[in-house]
């Protein structure tokens, strides 16, 4: 007796259910073996829970119905395992996907990081938002550029992440973070406090809490659905140079960016601006501008970047990738199945994603509404739109809401 044998024993007519005890009687199979098989079939989305029913002894049993996916499996003679599908996929031809810019603009004070970012942003096109931690410096250019600004008072990692989230919800095409250095400075202060308070002054140990915060900020930046330009201060130092007449004079030079070690790996483009406003492209994944010197980089530079970034196949949204990762990690789904399910949820997210249904449950005011939501959850789970762990979470929320309503009715009575 295999799981496929169990599936074949289900009635194919829509609306007809089956329990383990009925199948045991009909097929003369032990019910103890049928129940775990049904659980596996339900997890695979081949059958779906539809309710409960008492058996001949009065015990409550789970009732299942076969799904469209289960019917298709029977037609094919059995479901191919996800592991087998992933192996079959193997290598595939590399293609260039459309992308959004992730650029860091750094240099010493007076280099023109903010002004350059605004010009490049205008070249990229669309609505521009600026997160300003430089005490309103961006707003000084409001007569020359059209943008919205948020002067960020909370310069912790959480403050930055919340501001990025607001820009995302605001539908902005380009986000300028001016500057990213303040997040690093605040994080250093927090780690120092942690070291003194919890780790006896050991900053190395305190970074066990600081590093996840830095990663959280990086993920927030990478998760923004539009282009990002982040300005970063460079540690400024004076050096002595000799002019053509042999005279020595002091000159400012920009050194390492004031941000976490390795931050440069998170950006597609690194643009160093000198005090003469010359841009030096020291990293460029487009390959078009690597090691080039650009005098006063601006709108034309932004348009050229936008043209390269828009060329290629449509990219998966970060939301799809993030949802797939959650399904793979929390739901225990194979990677390929998690990605397909996440894409399907994205295509129908206006009505059926997990978060939206949870909101419907929270807003429900009558038991009959919750019953309808539960029916919809089961349908979506059977279609493969909701993962098993999402279905379980929503059903638990429905039961909790039902219990609360029953208690309220008891109080009212």
Query: Do residue 258 and residue 118 come from a single domain?
Result: yes
Provide the pLDDT for residue 412.
53
Residues 66 and 153 in one domain: no
CATH code, 167: 3.40.50.300
**What's the token pair of residue 72?**
């298709």
Same domain for 159 and 249, yes or no, is yes
Per-residue exposure over 28-50, b if at least 16 CB sit within 10 Å of its own CB, e if not? ebeeeebbebbeebbbbbbbbbb
Residue 15: closest CA among 50, 61, 62, 39: 50
Which string of b and e fits 285-312 if b means at least 16 CB within 10 Å? ebeebeeeebeebbeebbebbbebbeee
pLDDT value for 330: 46
Q: What is the pLDDT along the chain (413 residues), one digit of tens a residue?
A: 677 788 888 877 666 778 887 787 777 777 777 887 887 888 778 888 777 666 555 566 778 888 878 887 777 665 444 444 444 345 566 666 678 899 999 988 889 999 999 999 999 999 999 999 988 889 999 999 999 999 999 999 999 999 999 998 888 999 999 989 999 999 999 999 999 999 988 988 888 888 888 888 988 898 888 999 999 988 766 777 787 788 888 776 556 677 887 787 888 899 999 889 999 998 888 778 888 999 999 999 999 999 888 876 665 555 555 556 555 554 555 666 666 666 665 554 444 567 767 777 887 778 888 888 888 788 777 766 677 777 888 898 899 888 888 887 765 54
- Residue 320: what pLDDT? 57
Residue 245 included in any domain: yes
- Residue 358 to residue 398: CA distance in whole angstroms: 9
- Burial class (CB within 10 angstroms; exposed 0-12, middle 13-18, buried 19+) of 7: buried
**Using a CB cutoff of 8 Å and minimum separation of 24, what contacts does 215-219 make?**
216/157, 216/161, 217/157, 217/160, 217/161, 217/183, 218/263, 218/266
Q: Do 287 and 347 reside in the same domain of the chain?
A: no
Model pLDDT, residue 382: 74
Under 8 Å between Cβ of 323 and 330 = no
* Whole-number Å distance between alpha carbons of 395 and 130: 41
Residue 106's Cβ-count burial label (10 Å; 0-12, 13-18, 19+) is buried
- Per the omega criterion (within 30 degrees of 0), is the bond before 179 cis? yes
Residues 268 and 127 occupy one common structural domain: yes
Q: Is residue 379 part of a domain?
A: yes
Q: What is the pLDDT of residue 367?
A: 85
- Report the C-alpha gap between 337 and 341 in whole angstroms: 6
**Phi/psi at 108 (5° precision):** -75, 170
Q: 288 with 235, same domain?
A: yes
Of 281, 309, 337, the residue at which a domain comes to its end is: 309
Do the domain assignments include residue 291? yes
Q: Are residues 127 and 265 in the same domain?
A: yes
List the one residue out of 256, 281, 290, 283 whose CA is nearest residue 268.
Answer: 283
**85 found inside a domain:** no
Tokens coding 161: 């992440």
Contact present, 290 and 284 (Cβ < 8 Å): yes
Q: Are residues 155 and 282 in the same domain?
A: yes
Q: Are 340 and 321 in contact (CB under 8 A)?
A: no
- pLDDT recorded at residue 97: 64
- If you ran DSSP here, which 8-state letter would residue 79 be given? P
> How many domains does the structure of the chain reveal?
3
pLDDT of residue 83: 44
Residues 114 and 190 in one domain: yes
Determine the pLDDT at residue 302. Answer: 93
Q: What is the 3-state secondary structure (H, E, C) of 358-392?
A: HHHHHHCCCHHHHHHHHHHHHHHHHHCCCCHHHHH
User: 88 in a domain, yes or no?
Assistant: no
27 is a domain residue: yes
The CATH number of residue 59's host domain is 1.10.10.10
CA 24-26-31 angle, 5° bins? 0
Domain that holds residue 64: 3-79
Q: What is the pLDDT of residue 208?
A: 86
In a domain, 94, yes or no: no
Task: Mark whether 269 and 132 lie in a shared domain.
Answer: yes
Q: Are 163 and 152 in contact (CB under 8 A)?
A: yes
Separation CA 112–CA 282 (nearest Å): 17
pLDDT of residue 56: 54
- Kindly state whether residues 140 and 31 are assigned to the same domain: no
State how far the Cα of 308 lies from the Cα of 66, in Å rounded to an integer: 49
Residues 232, 158 within the same domain = yes
Structure tokens at 33: 């073996």
Length of the chain: 413
Residues facing 170 on adjacent strands? none
Which helix (H) or strand (E) is 106 found in, with range? strand 102-107
């Amino acid at each position: 007796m295999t799981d496929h044998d169990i599936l074949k024993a289900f009635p194919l007519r829509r609306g007809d259910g089956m329990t383990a005890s009925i199948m045991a009687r009909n097929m003369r199979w032990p019910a103890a073996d049928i129940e775990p098989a049904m659980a596996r079939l339900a997890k695979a989305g081949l059958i779906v829970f539809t309710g409960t029913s008492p058996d001949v002894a009065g015990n409550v049993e789970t009732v299942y119905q076969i799904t469209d996916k289960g019917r298709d499996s029977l037609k094919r003679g059995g479901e191919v395992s996800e592991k087998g599908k992933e192996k079959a996929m193997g290598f595939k031809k590399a293609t260039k996907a459309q992308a959004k810019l992730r650029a860091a603009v750094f240099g010493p004070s007076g280099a023109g990081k903010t002004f350059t970012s605004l010009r490049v942003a205008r070249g990229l096109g669309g609505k521009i938002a600026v997160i300003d931690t430089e005490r309103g410096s961006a707003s000084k250019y409001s007569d020359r550029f059209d943008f919205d600004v948020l002067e960020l008072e909370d310069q912790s990692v959480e403050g930055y992440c919340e501001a990025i989230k607001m820009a995302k919800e605001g539908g902005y095409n380009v986000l300028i973070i001016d500057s990213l250095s303040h997040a690093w400075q605040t994080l250093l202060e927090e780690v120092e406090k942690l070291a003194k308070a919890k780790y006896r002054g050991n900053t190395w140990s305190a970074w066990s809490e600081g590093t996840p915060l830095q990663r959280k900020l990086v993920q927030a930046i990478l998760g923004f659905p539009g282009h990002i330009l982040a300005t970063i201060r460079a540690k400024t130092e004076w050096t002595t140079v000799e002019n053509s007449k042999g005279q020595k004079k002091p000159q400012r030079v920009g050194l390492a960016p004031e941000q976490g070690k390795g931050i440069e790996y998170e950006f597609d483009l690194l643009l160093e601006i000198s005090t003469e406003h010359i841009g030096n492209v020291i990293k460029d994944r487009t390959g078009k501008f690597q090691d080039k010197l650009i005098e006063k980089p601006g709108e034309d530079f932004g348009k050229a970047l936008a043209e390269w970034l828009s060329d290629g196949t449509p990219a998966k949204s970060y939301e799809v990738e993030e949802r797939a990762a959650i399904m793979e990690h929390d739901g225990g789904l194979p990677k390929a199945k998690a990605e397909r399910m996440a894409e399907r949820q994205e295509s129908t997210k206006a009505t059926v994603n997990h978060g939206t249904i949870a909101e419907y449950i929270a807003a429900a005011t009558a038991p009959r509404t919750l019953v309808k939501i539960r029916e919809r959850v089961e349908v979506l789970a059977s279609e493969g739109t909701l993962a098993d762990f999402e279905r379980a979470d929503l059903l638990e929320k429905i039961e909790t809401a039902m219990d609360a309503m029953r208690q309220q009715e008891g109080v009212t009575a």
